[in-house]
Structure 1
Amino acid sequence: MVDPGAAAWTLGCLSAGRAKRMIDRRGFAGSVALGAVLASTRASAMTGFITPPDTVWTGGGVVGRAGGRLRYVTLGDKGTAPPLVLLHKLGGWVADWRDVAPALAKGRQVIAFDLPGHGASHWLGTPPAVQTVVETAGLLLGALQEMGLAQVDLAGTSLGGCVAVAMAAIAPERVRRLALPSCVLGPASTQEQVAAKEAGQASMFTPDGDPLPVDAEVARGVFGLINAERIGAEQNASRKQAGRWIRPHERGVAYTDFVSLMRRVSAPTLLLYGERDGFFLKYQAGAEAAFRDVRSIVMSGVSGFPVQDNPVDTARAIDRFLA
C-alpha cells in the first residue's frame, strides 16, 4: 500500500519580516506570513523555520492548547458567510493552500492551521507513537472555540481531510459544510497491517522516524502529478519540518474507522478527486456510501494533489459548493 504520507507535498513557512509586525489575539508574536518554498529556501535566524520569498496571508497568530501551540494564518475579511478553515496534508503546512485561498477569501475569512507538530505549531516533548485523528480534531475545535468561532466551513486534504471528518462527526453543530479534496477515508487497519506498511517504507524514513527525501518521480507515477519536480522539492522541505511527527499522525489515520465517523457527519460534504490520480480514487465509492449528504466530483485532467497541482480547478469546485 502506498504511504499516505507520500501525499504530503506542500509549500511555504514563516516570513520573518512580517512575523515581527504581527501580533496574535493573545499578544504573542504571530509567526504568520507564509508563502512558496523554493529549492533555495533559507532558515530564518529569528524563528528557526524555513523562510519563503513571498506571501499571500495577511494576518494570523497562535492559540495555546494543552502541550503546545497551534499556529494559524488568515486571509480576507469577515463576511456574512462562516469562516472557511483549511487543513493541510500529512507532512505539510499552511502554505499547501496558498494558491487556493485567495479565490476562496471573497466575502468570507479564510483561516489555515498548521496541524500539531507541523510547520510552526509547536508541541512539547517527544512525539507520541500515535497521534489520533480524534485527538487532533479536539485540539482544533478547542482552538476555534477560543477564537470565538461558533460555526465554520471546513476544507481538508489528506490528513487535514481526515481531521475535518472527525471534527464534523464530533461536533456537527460547529461545521456547516465539509469539502474533502483527495482523502484516505477507509476502515481501520490492524497493528499488524500498520507494521507491515511501515516495513515497506524503509526508503522514506530513517530507523528513528525522520523523513528522508522522496524522489519526485514516485509521486508522478502514483498521483499523476503535473508539476512533480516543484511539488517534490517543496514536499521534502515540509516533511523535514514536520520531522518525527509524520509517523504518529499517519498511524492515527490508519487506526481510525472512518466509515463510522463518516456516518455520523450531517454536514453537506463534497468529495473531490483528480482523474489522473492512482491512489485516492479507490476510496471514492466507500466515502460516497458512508456520508449522509454527499456530492462527488472527479475533475478532468487533475492529479491526486489538486490543492497544489490544480489550484484553479480546486478553488472553483470548493467555491461553488460553499455557495
Structure 2
Amino acid sequence: MLDPERVGEVPRFTERWGGSGSVGDIDGPVHWVEYGDTDNGSPPVVMVHGLGGSHLNWVRVAPLLAKHTRVLTVDLPGFGLSEVGRRQAGIDANAIVLQRFLQDVVGTPVILMGNSMGGMISSFAAAAHPESISGLVLVNPALPVGQRLPDPQVALQFALQFIPFVGEGYLRFASRNLTDRQLVERMVEMCFADPSRASQEVLEVATAFTGYRRGLPSQDAAFLQASRSLLLTLARPGRYQDAMRSIQRPVLLIHGDKDKLVPVASARKAAAANERWDSVILNGVGHTPQLEVPDTMLDHVMTWVGKHGLIDV
C-alpha cells in the first residue's frame, strides 16, 4: 500500500495545474487526480494513461477540459501511484479495475479517454459495460500492426521486454544506469515526433515524479506483465477487434501520423473497419498528442463532444 505519509505529498505534482489527488481501495490502492466542477450536469471525463504512464500524462489537457466538466485522471494498478499489490496488471485485470473505478468512484456514465494501452483497456471496458460510457476517445490507442511495422528501436525494446528474465534485466539496467531526467527524456524521444514541443514545466515535474517513484517498491514486474499482456492481445487481435466493433456509443479516434509505437496505418485500418467512428489524423505528431499538441487535440475533442451533444460547449 502507499505510505500514508507519502499520500499527503501527491498533490504537489499536480496542484500547479489545479489537480487534487486521492487514493481509494479497489482490492488495493488506486490513485487518481480530479479537476473541475463536480455538479455542472455534463458527463465526467475519465482519462487513462498508457504503458509506463501515469496521471501526469494528462496535465496539459485535463485543466483545460475541466473548464467544461469534471475530469479524473486515474493511475492503473502497477503505474503512477497505484501500487499493484497482490493484483494482476494485465489488460483484462486492469479493465476490470477501471470499470470498478467508474462504478464506485465516479458513479455516472463518463466520456472515457484512453491513450496507447489505456485506449485498449478503455475499449474493453466500454464494450463490457456500455451503461458506464457516454462516449469514448481513443488517443493513439494500441492497435494490431497494419502494413507498416513499428520503429525498429521500439520493436526491439518490446521484444526484449517480452523475453522472460531478459525483460527483467533490461529494466534493472535502465533503472541503475539512467538518471531521472534521462528516463524522462528517453520517453519523450520515443513518444514525440518533435521533442522540442515538450513543456519544460512538465519535464521538471515528471523528473521529480520519477525520482519519487524510485522510493516506492519496484513495479517492474507489473510493467512487464502489462507489456506482455498487451503484446499477446495484439498477436491474437480477434477479441479486441470484436470489442471495438461492438461499441455503440460515439467514438473519436485521434492518431498522430508520426507515431513510432503504433503506426498510423493501424489507425487508418481501425477507422475503416469502424465506419461509425469519427477519426482525426494529426500531421507531424507522435504517440502522445495530449502532451505534444494539447491545444490541437483539445480542439478536436471539443468539436466532437459538441457534435454528439455530450458536453455543453
- TM, length-normalised to structure 1: 0.71
Sequence identity (%): 23
Deviates more, 1:97-106 or 1:268-277: 268-277
Letter aligned with residue 271 of structure 1 = L
Structure 1 residues 251, 221: CA separation in 2 closer, same or farther (over 3 Å shift)?
Answer: closer
| Cα pair 2:126 2:247 within 8 Å, conserved | yes
Structure 1 residues 102, 196: CA separation in 2 closer, same or farther (over 3 Å shift)?
Answer: closer
Letter aligned with residue 224 of structure 1 = A
Deviation (angstroms), 1:210: 3.8
| Cα pair 1:186 1:286 within 8 Å, conserved | no
The aligned counterpart of 2:265 is 282
The structure with the largest helix share of the pair is 2
How many residues matched?
Answer: 270
Letter aligned with residue 302 of structure 1 = V
The aligned counterpart of 2:72 is 111
**What are the superposed Cα offsets for residues 23-74 of structure 1, whole Å, 9 maximum, x if unpaired?**
xxxxxxx944533xxxxxxxxxxxxxxxxxx6324434222112x1111110
| Cα pair 2:160 2:170 within 8 Å, conserved | no
Letter aligned with residue 162 of structure 1 = M
Letter aligned with residue 243 of structure 2 = L
The aligned counterpart of 1:270 is 252
Decide which of 130, 145, 156 is 2:114's aligned counterpart: 156
Q: Tell me, yes or no, if structure 1 residue 250 matches structure 2 residue 233.
A: no
CA distance in 2 between counterparts of 1:162 and 1:210 reads 27
Letter aligned with residue 104 of structure 1 = L
Decide which of 144, 149, 173 is 2:131's aligned counterpart: 173
Deviation (angstroms), 1:221: 7.1
- TM, length-normalised to structure 2: 0.73
Deviates more, 1:171-180 or 1:232-241: 232-241
Aligned residue for 2:23, secondary structure, equals strand
| Cα pair 1:83 1:111 within 8 Å, conserved | yes
CA distance in 1 between counterparts of 2:140 and 2:65 reads 18
| Cα pair 1:62 1:70 within 8 Å, conserved | yes
Q: How does 1:105-144 map to 2 (within 5 A)?
A: 105-125=66-86, 131-144=89-102
**What are the superposed Cα offsets for residues 219-265 of structure 1, whole Å, 9 maximum, x if unpaired?**
64775233378688848938967533221111221222321221121
| Cα pair 1:34 1:94 within 8 Å, conserved | no
Structure 1 residues 112, 205: CA separation in 2 closer, same or farther (over 3 Å shift)?
Answer: same
The aligned counterpart of 1:23 is none
Deviation (angstroms), 1:288: 1.0
Structure 1 residues 243, 217: CA separation in 2 closer, same or farther (over 3 Å shift)?
Answer: closer
The aligned counterpart of 1:34 is 13
The aligned counterpart of 2:169 is 207
The CA RMSD over aligned residues, in Å, is: 3.5
| Cα pair 1:137 1:163 within 8 Å, conserved | yes
Letter aligned with residue 289 of structure 2 = P
**Which structure 1 residue ranges, 5 or more long, are not aligned?**
1-13, 21-29, 36-53, 188-193
The aligned counterpart of 1:319 is 302
Deviation (angstroms), 1:137: 1.1
| Cα pair 2:161 2:228 within 8 Å, conserved | no
Structure 1 residues 168, 99: CA separation in 2 closer, same or farther (over 3 Å shift)?
Answer: same
**What are the superposed Cα offsets for residues 134-186 of structure 1, whole Å, 9 maximum, x if unpaired?**
22111111122112523100111011111111111111121111111111122
**What are the superposed Cα offsets for residues 264-310 of structure 1, whole Å, 9 maximum, x if unpaired?**
21121111112333442131123113436201111233233211111
Structure 1 residues 33, 143: CA separation in 2 closer, same or farther (over 3 Å shift)?
Answer: farther
Q: Tell me, yes or no, if structure 1 residue 77 matches structure 2 residue 55.
A: no
Q: Tell me, yes or no, if structure 1 residue 87 matches structure 2 residue 48.
A: yes
